Amino acid sequence: MRNITIIVALLCLTLSGCSKNENSLVLSIASERYLSPIQDEMNAGVWFLSKKYQNDNWALLSRDIEGFVYERGYEYTIKVTMRATEQYVDQSPVKFKLVQIISKERTDSDLPEIFKNSLYEE
């Protein structure tokens, strides 16, 4: 649980560092999703695996991206907007909304072992 909490906290800190004019972001979304093995209020559910830059490591991302319809087996590059939400225990402090699907490629994303043990079977 600690690893997941740390990853989510780092992602939130990274995203909260954007200025008000920089509310859009380009992300890569992996061809597989992650099923959290920890089923508490903060961590339960199916998460996207994403990265901000091509050479970044995959990290957990919010369960939802408004307007984005995910299809397993495809790696996406998408543009999203972010906005802060009221912070509740069971809610991410940032909400994502799809602006554009830049690319959609049928591939198997090269995921680290830490995520492979808990991939979501659709």
Helix (H, G, I), strand (E, B) or coil at 42: coil
How many CA atoms does the CB half-sphere of 103 hold within 13 Å? 10
Kindly state whether residue 122 falls inside one of the protein's structural domains.
no
Check whether 50 has a pLDDT greater than 90.
Answer: yes
How many domains in the chain?
1
Kindly state whether residue 9 falls inside one of the protein's structural domains.
yes
Average confidence (pLDDT) over 22-34:
90
Kindly state whether residue 121 falls inside one of the protein's structural domains.
no
Rounded Cα gap, residues 40 and 104, in angstroms: 32
Of residues 117 and 75, more confidence is placed in: 75
Average confidence (pLDDT) over 113-120:
89
* Residue 100 domain boundaries: 2-115
pLDDT of residue 87: 63
Q: Tokens representing 97?
A: 């909304």
pLDDT of residue 13: 45
Kindly state whether residue 24 falls inside one of the protein's structural domains.
yes
Kindly state whether residue 56 falls inside one of the protein's structural domains.
yes
Of residues 4 and 75, more confidence is placed in: 75
Rounded Cα gap, residues 109 and 91, in angstroms: 27
**What is the average pLDDT score of the chain?**
80
Q: What's the length of the chain?
A: 122
Kindly state whether residue 100 falls inside one of the protein's structural domains.
yes
Of residues 122 and 49, more confidence is placed in: 49
Rounded Cα gap, residues 35 and 89, in angstroms: 19
Average confidence (pLDDT) over 114-122:
87
